Chain A
């Protein structure tokens, strides 16, 4: 009885791991590291995690997780409330419809996939926020943020892959 209970709890915890690790990475991305030359820029951590988990474990990272992650980012950020949720939902729609093209392919293809889909998500958020402010947000800074996110994707994939392979191996 007790074994069943602890087994269920472990299983439940493992199913929540992608969301917990994504939240941890999102929180980390807001920590001021004061590293010279970084210019306060942060990668779109939510997008990176959403893409990774929807490709690799869509069974444990669903629409609710995407929405929750977006809400948390909106609470920390001072960008218009709802814009992070919107961008992550755009990415969710894209990934859930196109994941068959990237799943099981070499890492480079998945990386290209992220570069392509994140571009659409960034662009739609840029458009929405520009409409909100009734003025265009400078496109170069959006592009820089996008390129930075694409550049760090492999490193953050390693972290997510570690969570998937080392901590979720029983279920995987």
Chain B
């Protein structure tokens, strides 16, 4: 009886002590999480993917009702602009018809010349279209969660596109859901070049809506409005994918406005360019943009 009483006192003491230090322990756990996350281990990645798969359906069920409400707001807002936009689209359509016929002629010419040079074209890209179920665009990260995963053969590092250009890359793949790091996220580093001058650099996200282009040669001539595309260096992103255009060329601060409207993505295209080997090497070398310094 006495022994039980002593044990009870011990237990209540431990509980009191734990309560007292709970906040310290929880703070320490947050630091430990961050440290483990920094080491980028496979176990953490897998655990995180499973956790995303568990939590994402809870966000997913809210998407449809929330979108209906937002859609009503958007409908009334857009009504005002319909006429103006219609005029603009007619003009753009006229211009695109001309561009399209020119592109068709160039495509035929390209095929003929490729045949003459005995050129081996790269493997055809395959893609999966996925619905965006969660987005985050705050000061600490820019990412999306899309409803697709291992079941659709999505792999880490694959390129994510919208209808206007590069959106980001796959960062984490769960069974049904995948996390996408946007090109504006601080973790994103993509080799790019200016289409007109072929000047190369790295597109570096900084958690703002206009990422920077860094590591540009000093003598490079850049003009506001120049188109920026992927350079294909390192092989993770194929060359020529549209990224955006230059909006500021101040010293050491070349800013790019992305072609894709990253805050209004409903569906994205996850493209497999058959670059699995390259991606494995890139991951080992840290080319995929995770901050390893």
Bound CA–CA A80/B40 (angstroms): 11
Name the one of A33, A76, A92 contacting B136, with C-beta atoms under 8 angstroms: A76
Contact yes or no, B23 A80, CB < 8 A: no
Contact yes or no, B74 A78, CB < 8 A: no
Instruction: Write the nearest CB–CB distance from B41 to chain A, whole angstroms.
Output: 12
B77 at the interface (CB under 8 A from A): yes
Contact yes or no, B263 A39, CB < 8 A: yes
Instruction: Write the nearest CB–CB distance from A48 to chain B, whole angstroms.
Output: 13
A31 at the interface (CB under 8 A from B): yes
B264 at the interface (CB under 8 A from A): yes
Instruction: Write the nearest CB–CB distance from B212 to chain A, whole angstroms.
Output: 10
B120-160 interface bits toward A, Cβ cutoff 8 Å, 1 = contact, 0 = none: 00000000000011111111111111000000000000000
B31 at the interface (CB under 8 A from A): yes
Instruction: Write the nearest CB–CB distance from A69 to chain B, whole angstroms.
Output: 12
Contact yes or no, B140 A137, CB < 8 A: yes
B46 at the interface (CB under 8 A from A): no
A106-114, A128-136, A159-167 - the one binding chain B: A128-136
Contact yes or no, A32 B291, CB < 8 A: no
| Residues 69 to 95 of chain A near chain B (Cβ within 8 Å) | 70, 72, 74-83, 85-86, 89, 92-93
Nearest B residue to A44 by beta-carbon distance? B138
Name the one of B27, B139, B172 contacting A145, with C-beta atoms under 8 angstroms: B139
In the complex with contacts A34-B67, A74-B33, A82-B31, A145-B134 CB distance below 8 A: no
A137 to chain B: which residues have CB within 8 Å?
A: 139-140, 186, 206-207
Bound CA–CA A31/B140 (angstroms): 17
B55 to chain A: which residues have CB within 8 Å?
A: 72, 75-76
A80 to chain B: which residues have CB within 8 Å?
A: 34, 37-38, 140
In the complex with contacts A36-B264, A63-B22, A141-B136 CB distance below 8 A: no
B99 at the interface (CB under 8 A from A): no
Interface of A is mostly: helix
Nearest B residue to A126 by beta-carbon distance? B139
Contact yes or no, B63 A31, CB < 8 A: yes
Name the one of B36, B69, B291 contacting A134, with C-beta atoms under 8 angstroms: B291
Bound CA–CA A135/B67 (angstroms): 36
B1 to chain A: which residues have CB within 8 Å?
A: none
B52 at the interface (CB under 8 A from A): yes
Bound CA–CA A30/B145 (angstroms): 9
B218 at the interface (CB under 8 A from A): no
A42 to chain B: which residues have CB within 8 Å?
A: 136-138
Bound CA–CA A129/B23 (angstroms): 20
B51 to chain A: which residues have CB within 8 Å?
A: 75
Bound CA–CA A78/B235 (angstroms): 25
B139 to chain A: which residues have CB within 8 Å?
A: 126, 137-138, 141-142, 144-145
Tell me the B residues contacting A by CB distance below 8 Å. 22-23, 26-27, 29-34, 36-38, 44, 48, 51-52, 54-56, 58-59, 62-63, 66-67, 69-70, 73-74, 77, 132-145, 171-172, 179, 181, 185-187, 206-209, 262-266, 291, 293
Instruction: Write 27 A-B pairs (CB below 8 A) sorted by A numbering.
Output: A27-B59, A27-B62, A28-B66, A30-B59, A30-B136, A32-B133, A32-B266, A33-B67, A34-B263, A34-B265, A36-B74, A36-B264, A38-B263, A40-B263, A42-B136, A63-B23, A76-B136, A77-B136, A78-B143, A82-B32, A82-B33, A82-B34, A86-B30, A134-B291, A137-B140, A140-B208, A144-B139
19 extra interchain contacts, Cβ-Cβ under 8 A, other than A40-B142, A76-B55, A86-B27?
A: A31-B63, A32-B67, A33-B66, A34-B67, A34-B266, A35-B70, A44-B138, A63-B26, A78-B179, A78-B187, A81-B33, A83-B34, A86-B31, A89-B23, A92-B23, A129-B140, A132-B38, A134-B293, A137-B139
Q: Nearest 8 A-B pairs (CB), nearest first?
A: A40-B137, A82-B33, A40-B263, A78-B143, A33-B70, A79-B140, A79-B141, A30-B134
